[in-house]
């Protein structure tokens, strides 16, 4: 019996407990209070915005070419593949002279919805990387809380500020997209447009760079489900092409930014997540 099968059996055993109201609690209140991962092998369960992870590992506070930010959030957890990716990106970017990366949110100790911030980052395969280079000293705990990521857009504009986003930042994103396992990288539309304007020898990496709301002071890397992770649900593949045509032009109209007239969705409950997540949150 594999680890996932055991999780499902434990989840089924917890159904009686869950139906007593546990399953209807906001999942963010359950997962947001757990500071330890489960034991066992890393097992991403469900989708990026509706799932959890068993056996998560924690990124070190500092490593060769990176420093983690916002330590008080305790969101430095993820699949081993994500931790390995961060180290690989730091090493790759150093070849272009990038002095090191500042790592923002990954996920919680058992994944799942967070009490604040992201709707995704739930299965240990998402990480935010700041668009500012790492300082030349080890940041104090206070600096990691007080320093803010800086927008690379012109104030009041959707276009990049060339004084804040130039060749070093473009090469960092190129390196980030070229590493194995990357499914998507979310950036502000102006950043995508800046990348599209470059005469890259190979433009295939641009398919992975996707415009999205916010993401003007960091980029969000999403890895594909690891091989053999049967309970992990990949996002649909990105559309074919470099994404530099009409679909990007849309982001420079007012249409994407019109206020929604729909009522906000209620928070996800434990019952909304895959059944195995009941075992993940209930594990000692």
The string of DSSP codes covering 237-274 is PPPSS-S-SHHHHGGGSSGGGSPP-SPPPPPPBGGGS-
pLDDT of residue 145: 97
Q: Is the pLDDT of residue 119 over 60?
A: yes
Q: How confident is the model at residue 16 (pLDDT cuts 50, 70, 90)?
A: very low
Which pLDDT score, from 0 to 100, does residue 284 have? 81
pLDDT digit string, tens, across residues 149-179: 999 999 999 999 999 999 999 999 999 999 9
Question: What's the whole-number mean pLDDT along residues 68-91?
Answer: 98
- Residue 150 has a pLDDT of 97
Mean pLDDT of 14-21: 49
Model-wide pTM > 0.85: yes
Q: Is the pLDDT of residue 19 over 50?
A: no
> What is the band of 24 on the pLDDT scale with cuts at 50, 70, 90?
confident
pLDDT in tens, 55-65: 999 999 999 99
With 60 as the cut, is the pLDDT of residue 223 above it?
yes
H/E element, 77: strand 77-78
Q: Is the pLDDT of residue 221 over 70?
A: yes
Mean pLDDT on 205-216: 97
User: Mean pLDDT across the stretch 220-235?
Assistant: 97
Backbone phi, psi, residue 50, to 5°: -160, 75
HSE-up of residue 252 (Cα within 13 Å, Cβ side): 16
What pLDDT is recorded for position 116?
86
Q: 267 CB contacts (<8 Å, ≥6 apart)?
A: 26, 27, 28, 113
Q: Which domains does the chain have, with CATH numbers?
A: 25-254+271-282 (3.30.1380.10)
- Closest among 218, 161, 223 to 193, alpha carbons compared: 161
How far apart, in whole angstroms, are the C-alpha atoms of residue 163 and residue 35?
40
pLDDT tops 50 at residue 17: no
Report whether 25 contacts 113 (CB < 8 A): no
Q: How would DSSP label each residue in 172-209?
A: HHHHHHHSTTEEEEEE-HHHHHHHHTS--S--GGGGGE
């Amino acid at each position: 019996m594999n680890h996932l099968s055991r999780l499902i059996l434990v989840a089924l055993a917890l159904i009686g407990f869950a139906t007593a109201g546990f399953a209807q609690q906001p999942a963010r209140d359950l997962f947001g209070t757990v500071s330890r991962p489960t034991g066992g092998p890393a097992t991403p369960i469900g989708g990026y915005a509706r799932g959890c992870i068993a056996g998560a590992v924690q990124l070190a506070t500092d490593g060769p070419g990176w420093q983690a930010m916002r330590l008080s959030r305790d969101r430095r957890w993820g699949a081993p593949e994500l931790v390995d990716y961060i180290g690989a990106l730091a090493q790759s970017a150093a070849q272009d002279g990038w002095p090191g990366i500042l790592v923002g949110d990954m996920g919680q100790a058992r994944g799942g919805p967070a009490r604040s911030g992201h709707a995704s980052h739930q299965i240990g395969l998402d990480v935010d990387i700041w668009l500012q280079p790492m300082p030349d000293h080890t940041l104090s705990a206070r600096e990691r809380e007080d320093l803010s990521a800086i927008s690379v857009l012109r104030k009041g504009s959707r276009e990049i500020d060339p004084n804040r986003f130039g060749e070093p930042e473009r090469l960092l994103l190129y390196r980030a997209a070229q590493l194995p396992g990357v499914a998507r990288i979310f950036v502000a539309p102006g950043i995508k447009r800046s990348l599209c304007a470059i005469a890259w020898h190979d433009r295939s990496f641009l398919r992975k760079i996707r415009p999205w709301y916010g993401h003007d002071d960091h980029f969000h890397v999403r890895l594909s489900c690891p091989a053999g992770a049967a309970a992990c649900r990949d996002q649909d593949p990105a559309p074919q092409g470099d994404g530099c045509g009409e679909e990007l032009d849309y982001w420079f109209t007012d249409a994407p930014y019109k206020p929604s007239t729909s009522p906000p969705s209620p928070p996800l409950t434990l019952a909304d997540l895959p059944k195995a997540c009941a075992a993940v949150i209930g594990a000692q």
